[in-house]
Chain A
Amino acid sequence: MNNIINNKMRNVFLCFFIIIFFNSCIEEFFFENNSENEIVYVVDGQILTNNVEQFIKVSTAVSLGHPIFNPVSNCLVSVYDENGNVFHFEETANYSKGVYVGEIPIEFMYFGNKFKMTLETKDGKILESDFEELLQGVPLDSLDYVLNTNSNGMNKANFYLNMPVDDNYDSYYRFEINESWEYHAAFPIIKYYAYVDNNIEFFDQFEDYSKNICYKSQDLKCIYSASFDDVVGAEYLTVPLHFVSNETQRFKYKYSVLATQYSLTKKAYDFWGKLKNTSQNGETVFGNIPMNADGNISCKNNPDEIVLGYFGVSDYATKRFLVDLPEDFGFYESQFDCSINEVDGKVLLNILANLEKEDGPYYLPQAPAYDPGGTYIADQGCFDCRKKGGQTQIFDFWKEK
């Protein structure tokens, strides 16, 4: 009897907790701000030590419904150093609108020199930054990863960037990460439909693996920053980066990381830190209050006017890391989006009817042995790996190796 009661009670409690925890919910929210926004200028300037040619981008903030870069042309842009030297920036045909290009000779790019930017817009607004000091960065040392398995059984490789801690160098840094990897299409090309002149014809051939292996590279749209101030008792500054899971092919064949480092002033570090907190952190039960990151640019005509962005000066360093892959990463093959689906013949006809010449051939998978006469389709990236954004030509850094 007691067991029966216990079981009943347990079921009641179980149901209750399932209800309460699954009642908390997060839904996508679509917000349209219909208010007439004033023009808010955005300045994205970063003077770097790696190049004589420097760039400053000028744009305006755009409405939430139309998230595109909205350049501002016809501005007068200049950069001054603390010794009164002036470097003028202009829009050129070689770059898109809103990108102002100027040259700062290497002899001015010494550590300790300070720079500021002034900008006059077509409507007479004068925007000016504070002086920013060029500070020396630390050499990038090594990249490593730690393997973890989460509670769902997913394997993850968490990457860390290591830099030697040294008092001779500046304390604040921002990093950009570009990752590259090799991946394979799931199926060889055997049969396909393609345009011959203006007609679509069917082709059947031996297994073609020419579009089976691809290489892809992409920037990670995240802010990574670090400070020596947060390090204690270590010889290296360890910067947590991204992770790679066994649900993609990144870690299956080849993987590489290109890390780019920018030295920052404390103010620039705080600016990027606020941007990171505001843009990348989710919600907690207590409700974080978002805020705008205050940059170092102001409008001289109207000090109350908000100017977004930052004008910074950074020591630039970059290093490529070719990553040694783990022997057993437990890949989920089924997660690579290449299943074949049986369809009605009309579906295939409809697909072919909408096939454009520039789309290229439409590949078909081999029907399974138990249903050789069936009509099957699959994602085209499962045959031509380029359809998933990569290229078949191997990157030079892997060639060199």
Chain B
Amino acid sequence: MNRLLLPIIIIFVPFFIFSQQKKDTIDCNYLQTPILEFIADIEEQTDLSFTYTQLMIKDLTITVNGDQMGVFDVLDKAFKYTPLRYIYYKPNLIFIVNKANFIDQLPVYTLSSNDFESEDDSQLSTVMQKYIKGRNPNIKKTIIVGDKNNVSNGKQVKIIAKLFDEETNEPLIGATIFIKENGIGAATNNAGELTLRLPQGKFSAEIRCVGMQDAECILDIQSEGAFSYVMPQEVKSISEVTINAQQDYKIRGSEAGLDKLSIKSVKELPSLMGEKDIIKISQLLPGIVSVSEGSSGVNVRGGNADQNLFYINKLPLYSSSHLFGFFSSINSSIIENFAIYKGHVPAQYGGRLSSVFTIDTRKGNKEKIFAQGGISPISANLELEGPVIKDKASFVVSARSSYSDWILKRLPNENLKNSSVFFYDIAASIDFDINEKSNASGFFYNSNDFFNLNSKNEYQYDNLGGGVYYTYRLSNRLKSSSHFVQSNYSFSTVDNNNEVEAFSHNYSIKHTEIKSQLSYIFTEKQNLNFGGSFINYNIDRGKIEPYGSNSRRNELDLGGEKGFESALFFEDKYELTKKIKISAGLRYSFFQYRGPQDVYIYGQELGVSEDNIIDTLSFKKGEAIKNYNGPEFRMGADFKTGDFSSLKFSFVQMRQYLYLLSNTYSITPTDQWKLSDYYSKPAKSMQASVGYYKTFASMGMSASSEVYYKQSDNITEFKDGADFLNSKLVETQTLQGNQDAYGFEFMLAKDEGRLNGWVTYTYSKSFVQVDGINNDKKYSSNFDKPHVVNLTGNYKFSRRFILSANVMYSTGRPITMPQSIYYLQDMPFVNYSDRNEFRVPDYFRTDLSLTIEGNLKAKKLFHSYWMINVYNVTGRKNPYSIYFQSEQGKIKGYKYSVIGAPIFTISWNFKLGNYANE
């Protein structure tokens, strides 16, 4: 015990002393408070002294709310929506002035109107830099755009802005610029660019981005032009954004059903075994569920798990999990951007019915070396990044590996002692700015899992892939980007439970994709995006081979499949009025199922079964067996209903040319991907959604709600008793039908203050109807959970101590239950209900975590933090499944809980290098 007390005392006592000495924060609770009263209160709590005129502040009120806020945070917020502003003069003077009359223009400099040059201080003299920097805290920057010799004479001109992260030099996606005077705004695209249309003149611009410091500046528009703006990262703990569904972006963008997570949201939230997992965290967002904890894959808006496309740097992942689904196979530490398109899906994406998860990894710092890593009870990870050529090229390398095999050998349980578990993932990238107009990059990724249970079952699965990427700016208006990626997913299994029937099986799917697209700024109100893609699929379903000398298992070659999918896409985003934006896109996709292949023809009377083959069609290598093609319309509209609210509509059509062969509730790493073929048609879906978004700026809160309806056709379901390892003829084991889903999603988020987080509620239904299954009656999808409530919160005791919690509730998932018992040959058997007619008991779980940051000195080279996690605090035994089996002639029921007790873990993470990358 004494050993424990000492570090606790060492950690806590200095912090406590430190906390008591600090007096630069105050508690605020001002609601429509007269400004005079507010000033008096601030003067009483701080050393500040205010100077103002009574006339100026007469009848004005202040609304600002928050605990332990920085004084200047309070003042920023207090004056934000008033006609006043404040000026601070050291050491303690505050002047209150009128915004409109105050001249704050600093010595200015002119940017080239044709190039996207950053606002580089190095262009100024040292004296000027010092002059500007010395006043930065108090005075807005002025950015002159255009050429004063080419004044536009009152006409509106197009302004292109490009926003960067100051630390990483990465373009900022989803950052916004809002022009106060005319109430217009825009959000940056994936390249960090946005376009505004403004007349000549000076405008106050608010610049915002998740995780970055808010900024205000004066835009001095002289003519058409462009400018770059570098945003410093937000380092003030009090207002640190830990999760953001990017409400500003939602309000001002035109894409419904788009969710984004920042890596910070993952950092502090509780997790299983201390493994930061952004995909698991995404399940706390509305509309995203999984069958159960520990299950692989996610279900988005009533779609099957195989209807989601996971891209990491445009590289498709056919399995996104480690350890059968307990952890995701993506090391969260290297993620830069994480977006989920579950409503409006841009035309450039296709191939899955429900959603597209896009994950972009960091491109690496081009100026200095940086390392970070961590160790959790199950794995250790290390990332290294830095310049290859300073300011030109950078690299990132990350590796994560488990050491659980080492642990298993030390367990007393013989089954586990004789088992082995191991996983790892590696990612590496290089990014090269060839010149101002072109950029090239490369990416490599490998994840691998191995599990051997007492030599009875063996699983190994592996993702291996890489890609090269090239972007080129042909002009100010036209930009091209192309990439080539290849992804290979393979698995091998051994089933040695019964040595007479023991077998091994290998499987692989190779995905080769080339894609090119152009972004064209047609007018300041209209952006076009068009291009094409080509994917080649090569699947080897593998062989079932006898395993061991005693096996009498018949060898079975499940065969191979080839096909290619190509698509042309076009999307037009148009700003109809200041309040209405629309986007319209069309994607036309083609799919060809190709030889070599033997296709069996079945007699009509007895249907598709192995006993009813009447003919065989043989196709040679490369010969087209079946062609499918069709259009996919994508439409979105954004109606701005107020300064902080908007209404969005979305309509999307999607097509999917491959699916998973699965006959379990949750997908497994050994489920086989299968192409649409001679018999199975490609799945199609149509989704319509409407959303309303509102930000309560004064409270630092935002709310969103969406309703959707989705209809899918040609969904493949397995027949009762299907065994995909006993027959190569998949068409005899599957049927196709329809899937309908609808739902309502609500999210309320608080981004600021000591207590932040979000709460979501989702009501949704998802049904499947397939002729030939469940007596042709529709039934609930395996993951249909009508009511889902998630609560996520962080409470910051200080910059160094953060308490986080997740609370999750959902309706129990559907299950096929016994209805009655009957006897055959004097043995009892269970008569089961209709498929998924009943539900397991409801799911409830609470997780807690405490993050203890090390010393946060800005210039310290080495930073670290500890994270203490308690997973499933209440120890509730949430049922994963209920099953029944016959034992000695009696039917017994069992409830299986994956994790039925609290799990306490500690993990440690470090950063080497003074670089705030999160």
Contacts and interface: CB of A to CB of B under 8 A. Distances in A.
Q: Do A and B bind each other?
A: yes
Interface of A: 10, 12-14, 16-21, 23-31, 33, 35, 37, 40, 42, 44, 46, 57, 59-64, 67, 69, 146, 151-152, 160, 176, 219, 221, 223, 229-232, 234, 237-240, 266, 270, 273-275, 277-294, 304, 306, 308-310
A12 B377 contact: yes
Contact of A37 (B816, B819, B829, B900): B819
Interface in B392-430: 404, 406-408, 410-411, 413-418
The 7 nearest A-B residue pairs measured at CB? A287-B665, A151-B414, A291-B720, A61-B820, A286-B664, A29-B895, A221-B889
Given A176-B825, A286-B666, 9 more contacts: A17-B404, A40-B822, A60-B822, A61-B820, A230-B553, A283-B881, A285-B898, A289-B782, A308-B831
A59 B664 contact: no
A230 B552 contact: yes
A60 B555 CA distance: 42
Nearest to A60: B822
A64 B820 contact: yes
Contacts of B822: 40, 42, 59-62, 308-309
B327 interface: no
B832 A278 contact: yes
A287 B881 contact: yes
B830 A278 contact: yes
30 contacts: A12-B906, A13-B377, A13-B406, A14-B410, A16-B377, A17-B377, A17-B408, A19-B904, A23-B901, A27-B895, A29-B882, A29-B894, A40-B820, A44-B823, A61-B819, A61-B822, A64-B821, A176-B825, A232-B546, A234-B552, A275-B824, A280-B886, A284-B664, A285-B294, A286-B324, A287-B291, A287-B665, A287-B880, A293-B720, A309-B824
A151 B454 contact: yes
Interface SS of chain A: mixed
A310 B918 CA distance: 64
B905 A16 contact: yes
A281 B378 CA distance: 31
Contact of A287 (B273, B377, B666, B827): B666
B49 interface: no
Interface string B727-745: 0000000000000000000
Nearest to B457: A284
A32 B775 CA distance: 24
B314 to A, nearest CB: 30
A29 B893 contact: yes
A157 B273 CA distance: 41
B769 to A, nearest CB: 15
Nearest to A287: B665
A288 B889 CA distance: 21
Given A31-B817, A240-B500, A291-B832, A23 B903 contact: yes
For chain B, give the interface size range. 35 or more
Contacts, number: 225
A284 B407 CA distance: 23
Contact of B893 (A28, A44, A57, A230): A28
A130 B320 CA distance: 47
A24 B827 CA distance: 31
A50 to B, nearest CB: 15
Contacts of B881: 283, 287
A37 B831 CA distance: 11
A266 B611 CA distance: 9
Contacts of B553: 230, 232
B894 A27 contact: yes
Contacts of A219: 826
A273 B720 CA distance: 12
B889 to A, nearest CB: 4
Contact of A275 (B415, B668, B829, B906): B829
B827 A26 contact: no
A232 B898 contact: no
Contacts of A290: 816, 830, 832, 883-884
Contacts of B377: 12-13, 16-17
B885 A21 contact: no
Contact of A31 (B291, B886, B893): B893
A148 to B, nearest CB: 9
Contacts of B826: 219, 221
A17 B886 contact: no
A61 B554 contact: no
Contacts of B831: 40, 61, 292, 306, 308
